[in-house]
Amino acid sequence: MVQVISLPYDRTDVNVSLLHDEIMAVVDLPFVGISGGPKGTRVHVASGATDEQKVVISDLVAAHNPLLLSSDQQNELDRAAAIDALRKPWVEWTFEDKDVFIRLMAKKMGLF
C-alpha cells in the first residue's frame, strides 16, 4: 500500500477536479490525489516526494484558477447540453439525434 503524506494549503476556493488534472499533467510527481473542504486544500503525495517536487506542487496550487473547468467537468456540461437538445417529441428526432442518443447511452454503460 502506498504511504501517503498530505501537503496542506489554506486555499478553500479550489476546483478539486481541475487542480487534480493540473498536478497530474506534471510528469514525475508522486501524486495520489487532492482533498478540499472548509478548512483548506490538501495535496496527497507518496511519502518519497522531494522538496523540489513539493515546491512545484505549491506553485501549482498558488497559480490555480478555480473558475476554469476540468476536462471531466466540461464533458459533463457537454453531455447535459446534448441531453437537453434531445428533449423534444420523438417525431422530431432526426437520425443525428438518434445517433447522439445511442452514443450517450453506450458511454453511460461503459461500452467505450
Partner 1 sequence: MSWSPKSWTVGEPLTAAKMNTELRDNLNALKLPATVSYDGEEANNYSTTSTSFVLVDTDFELEITTLGGDVLCGFHGVAFGAQIKFFNVDIDGDLLLPYDGIVRTESSDGISFVRLITGLAADTYTFSLMWKVNLGTGTLFGNTGTASRSFSPQFWVREVS
Given the rule CB under 8 A, which residues bind partner 1? Answer: 1-2, 4, 6, 12, 16-17, 20, 32-39, 42, 44, 72
Nearer to partner 1, 1 or 91 (CB): 1
The set of cell numbers assigned to 9 is 494549503
Nearer to partner 1, 10 or 92 (CB): 10
- Which residue type does 5 have? I
Q: For the chain, where are the alpha helices, taking DSSP H only?
A: 16-24, 51-63, 71-85, 95-108
Separation between Cα atoms, residue 27 and residue 84, nearest integer Å: 38
The set of cell numbers assigned to 78 is 457537454
Q: What is the closest distance, in whole angstroms, from the C-beta atom of residue 20 to partner 1 in the complex?
A: 4
Q: What is the closest distance, in whole angstroms, from the C-beta atom of residue 9 to partner 1 in the complex?
A: 14
Q: What is the closest distance, in whole angstroms, from the C-beta atom of residue 37 to partner 1 in the complex?
A: 4
Asked if 83 and 104 touch (Cβ cutoff 8 Å), the reply is: yes
Nearer to partner 1, 71 or 88 (CB): 71
Nearer to partner 1, 11 or 97 (CB): 11
